[in-house]
Amino acid sequence: MTVTGPVAADQLGVVLPHEHVFIDLVSEYRGSGLLNDEHLARQELRALRAAGGSTLVDLTLDEIGRDPAALRRAGEASGVSIIMGCGHYRDPYLDRGWFDRTAVDAIADELVRDITEGARGTNVRAGIIGEIGADRGYISAAEERSFRAAARAHARTGLTISTHAARWPVGIPQLQLLAEEGVDPRRVIVGHTDSVPIPGYHLALVRQGCYVSFDSIGTGSPYDTDRAVDYVLELVRAGFGAQILLSQDVCLRDHLKATGGPGYAYVLTDFLPRLIAAGLDPEQAQSFVTDNPRNALTGAGG
Ligand SMILES: [Zn+2]
């Protein structure tokens, strides 16, 4: 399900599974943390289209400015199929009092409504659950409710769950919590894996069957991008190439092409060629942005 209606799985084409078109991170990034320029968004998305990209997963949630109507306009104007997320982000963005007062099933009901009817008073439907976040190396009380609600919404709708697991190896307890609620790890994308500098962690995740999202490609430092090449090659060598996803997590104004940043097409124009130059089979490299994200979104394959 995209913001402009259903798209057949075989029509998804080249997919970026973790991005943001409009977002408000001003509380953390005063200067660069607001993406709200629709003209600029269209321009950036058209550059993605020109580079061969066809589908973008926007994981912006209500705590950080999700705008379903603007996403639909951006999708219509750019020709990029945009898949919208739903659910709750992470501490400290969460309204903890609301989580204290609201039962897990009631939280799940809201996600299911976003998925089956539409979000924020529109008929724009979510096509993925996420990014469901844990802010630090543990899952907080409010975050635990959010994860359980995501799991129950998944059970009711079949949609994939995508998580925010940055810096610390918190993807492991996330998978464990979701499994407690009956979620098969193969229906989970653990996010920001490249921000956790522990290759053994990446391996432990894929061994459980989930997808790992190396999604700060080009938006981090050159060192981080170099390391991401190593991380990808290590998983390929270990035989887990079918569980690798790549994205840029564009979420700041500095990340956009117009401001000198990598933009939405960096994975396609720069990173895949680097992987191939490092010895990766070109067909396998292409599968990281085609077969793998399609399977991750639909639950097919693996
Ligand atoms: Zn993100």
Query: Which tens digits make up the pLDDT trace of 196-246?
Result: 999 999 999 999 999 999 999 999 999 999 999 999 999 999 999 999 999
Q: How far is the CA of 20 from the centre of ligand 1 (A)?
A: 6
Q: Band the pLDDT of 44: cuts 50, 70, 90.
A: very high
| Mean of the per-residue pLDDT values of the chain | 97
- 7: which 2 tokens? 């798209």
Q: How far is the CA of 268 from the centre of ligand 1 (A)?
A: 18
Contact 291, 242 (CB under 8 A): yes
Contact 189, 161 (CB under 8 A): yes
pLDDT over threshold 90, residue 93: yes
Q: How far is the CA of 18 from the centre of ligand 1 (A)?
A: 6
Q: Percent of the chain scored above 70 by pLDDT?
A: 100
Average pLDDT over residues 58-79: 98
Instruction: Give me the residues near ligand 1 (ion), CB cutoff below 5 Å.
Output: 249
Q: How far is the CA of 1 from the centre of ligand 1 (A)?
A: 19
Residue 207's CB is within 10 A of a number of other CB atoms, namely 12
In whole angstroms, what is the distance from residue 184 CA to residue 39 CA? 40
- What is the structure's pLDDT at 301? 73
Q: How far is the CA of 252 from the centre of ligand 1 (A)?
A: 10
Q: How far is the CA of 19 from the centre of ligand 1 (A)?
A: 6
Q: How far is the CA of 88 from the centre of ligand 1 (A)?
A: 12
Q: How far is the CA of 207 from the centre of ligand 1 (A)?
A: 24
pTM for the model? 0.98
Q: How far is the CA of 170 from the centre of ligand 1 (A)?
A: 16
DSSP code for 267: I
Q: How far is the CA of 17 from the centre of ligand 1 (A)?
A: 10
Q: How far is the CA of 58 from the centre of ligand 1 (A)?
A: 8
pLDDT over threshold 80, residue 265: yes
- What is the structure's pLDDT at 190? 98
* pLDDT tens-place string over residues 288-299: 999 999 999 999
The phi and psi torsions of 78 (rounded to 5 degrees) equal: -100, -20
* DSSP helix/strand/coil, 189: strand
pLDDT over threshold 60, residue 302: no
In whole angstroms, what is the distance from residue 118 CA to residue 7 CA? 16
Q: Band the pLDDT of 50: cuts 50, 70, 90.
A: very high
Q: How far is the CA of 133 from the centre of ligand 1 (A)?
A: 9
Q: How far is the CA of 57 from the centre of ligand 1 (A)?
A: 10
- What is the structure's pLDDT at 7? 97
* pLDDT tens-place string over residues 6-19: 999 999 999 999 99
In whole angstroms, what is the distance from residue 97 CA to residue 228 CA? 38
User: Of residues 301 and 43, which shows the higher confidence score?
Assistant: 43
